[in-house]
Amino acid sequence: MRRTWSALALVIFLCGRAGAVDGPQLVDGSGIHVESQQQLDARQLAVHVSTSALQHAVDIRILLPADYAASPERDYPVLYLFHGTSGRASDWVNAGDAEATTDGLPLIVVMPDAGFNGDGGGWFADWFNGGAAGQPMWETFHIEQIIPWIDANLHTTADRSGRAIAGLSQGGFGALSYAARHPELFTAVAAFSGGCEIDRDAEAIETATQIIQYTTAALSGFDKDAVFGPRATQELNWQAHDPATLVTNLRGLDIALWTGDGTAGPFDTNPPDAGASAIEVITFGATRLFDGHLRDAAIPHAYHYYGGGTHSWPYWTRDLKEYVGPLMQRFAGAPAPPRSVSYLSAADRWQQWDWSVELERPEAGFSHLLHASRTGFALIGSGVASVRTPPLFTPGSLVRVVKHGRWGRETSMLTVDASGRLRLSVPLSSDTRVAATRVSLRVL
């Protein structure tokens, strides 16, 4: 009996030192190792994790619904919510009133670090690092690791219909960039005073470049071009992460933007803080440009321009409070995936909506899949593309394939594989400005 009580005392002592865990026991997976976790209150988890994608361990804060433990059979939608430059995973709870704002909602909120120890931030990208790539790989961490890890550990609606992404300032850029690069993952996206653009418009390019270089060098201690590479040689990489360049990928998402204009608002002194005012002027310009690009593309969205307001927490706190109601409505009525798919990417190989494209081409550039469905698609790019469809067909069935481009016309018969997919090679025009290769598919 003494040995049993001694073992129990040791367990209690060790748990007390590590921080007692009363909520769900989060386990390793998807490349994430749980270093420690602590239940801070009835709803809030503080988790410290490490991953080969990053040089250092980082934090993730998680807010659970109040009835989470009592409803193990229920699945909940998830909002991935990002901080801004020099922020931390705890910011939205400590400064943004996120816990009170989401109280009573059937919603999980996941707030990961997007930088190391409050530095300049990782700009939501796998870094260029002089062409060597490697750590830090923030996009890999946030998209390829955290999302499946959360779905494996918590009771989530583990598909696009139950997933949204939002952020403030640099985190607003990250939310929009991730949503534009991975639209199959999210049903909604929001940016609060967001850095909505880094490349598309000349008036935004110079400012965005200076800010990213400054935060990377002065605040984070890395080479100023470590994130996306030098503009002179890596402009395509900047474009490939720019929400404004990729704006058409956002069609079908529920999009919401909030911004002030940097003048004194209801939460400011008069005159307002000079730094908070100046930064909001910059993000207002980027948000205004992004709103224009959405309008030009006829993409529905909500643009909340509230006039006076600076780059500060009272406004983002109010933004989040205004956002959660419409967000819960979106989750309640999230539309089905689109019947036809369009997607723009600069990657040599990519997969979205279960369509897969791999390119062999003479030089890097954008490829654009248009109106892809069971009856066919168009593809703009250079070189030759290997295309794999989703499982749209009956395994073993015969499909008549007609390809038509500037290079000519070709007809063939292909057999659907055992998974219900077609795999086909598509030659592309060398002049991507004027021509697409069109492919029609007809089941015989």
For residue 296, give the CATH number of its domain. 3.40.50.1820
The pLDDT, as a whole number, for residue 433 is: 54
In degrees, to the nearest 5, what angle opens at C-alpha 323 toward C-alphas 343 and 40? 105
Helix, strand, coil shares of the chain, percent, nearest 5, are 30, 25, 45
Strand, coil or helix: 164: strand
Identify whether 232 is part of a domain: yes
Do residues 237 and 359 share a domain?
Answer: no
Identify whether 3 is part of a domain: no
Tokens of 285: 């310009």
Do residues 371 and 427 share a domain?
Answer: yes
- The tens-digit pLDDT sequence of the chain (444 residues) is 333 333 333 333 333 334 444 689 999 999 999 999 999 999 999 999 999 999 999 999 999 999 999 999 999 999 999 999 999 999 999 999 999 999 999 999 999 999 999 999 999 999 999 999 999 999 999 999 999 999 999 999 999 999 999 999 999 999 999 999 999 999 999 999 999 999 999 999 999 999 999 999 999 999 999 999 999 999 999 999 999 999 999 999 999 999 999 999 999 998 999 999 999 999 999 999 999 999 999 999 999 999 999 999 999 999 999 999 999 999 999 999 999 999 999 999 999 999 999 999 988 999 999 999 999 999 999 999 999 999 999 999 999 999 998 888 999 999 999 999 999 999 997 664 557 999 999 999
277's enclosing H/E stretch is helix 274-296
Identify whether 107 is part of a domain: yes
Angle between helices 274-296 and 202-214 (to 10 degrees): 130
Do residues 361 and 231 share a domain?
Answer: no
Do residues 432 and 289 share a domain?
Answer: no
Identify whether 207 is part of a domain: yes
Please write the tens of the pLDDT for every residue from 390-411: 999 999 999 999 999 888 899 9
pTM score over 0.75:
yes
Q: What is the DSSP string of 284-329?
A: HHHHHHHHHHHHHTT---EEEE-SS--SSHHHHHHHHHHHHHHHHH
Do residues 375 and 279 share a domain?
Answer: no
**Rounded distance between C-alpha atoms, residue 225 and residue 273, angstroms:** 30
Query: Under 8 Å CB-to-CB from 24, ≥6 apart: which residues?
Result: 45, 64, 68, 153, 154
Identify whether 249 is part of a domain: yes
Do residues 357 and 257 share a domain?
Answer: no
Range of the domain at 77: 14-332
The last residue of one of the domains, among 276, 298, 332, is 332
The pLDDT, as a whole number, for residue 297 is: 98
Identify whether 8 is part of a domain: no
The pLDDT, as a whole number, for residue 18 is: 41
Token pair 């598309």: residue: 200
Do residues 84 and 196 share a domain?
Answer: yes
Identify whether 4 is part of a domain: no
Do residues 133 and 172 share a domain?
Answer: yes
Whether the Cβ atoms of residue 229 and residue 236 lie closer than 8 Å to each other: no
Strand, coil or helix: 77: coil
The last residue of one of the domains, among 280, 308, 332, is 332
Closest CA to 184 of 423, 321, 426, 369: 369
* Neighbour order of strands in the sheet with 341-345: 341-345, 367-373, 376-380, 437-443, 398-405, 408-415
Look at the chain and report how many structural domains it folds into. Answer: 2
The pLDDT, as a whole number, for residue 429 is: 77
Query: Under 8 Å CB-to-CB from 253, ≥6 apart: which residues?
Result: 179, 183, 186, 187, 188, 189
Identify whether 98 is part of a domain: yes
Do residues 375 and 317 share a domain?
Answer: no
The pLDDT, as a whole number, for residue 20 is: 47
Tokens of 436: 């697409």
**Rounded distance between C-alpha atoms, residue 28 and residue 35, angstroms:** 9
Do residues 219 and 347 share a domain?
Answer: no
Please write the tens of the pLDDT for every residue from 59-89: 999 999 999 999 999 999 999 999 999 999 9
Do residues 82 and 172 share a domain?
Answer: yes
Do residues 358 and 311 share a domain?
Answer: no
The last residue of one of the domains, among 332, 366, 396, is 332
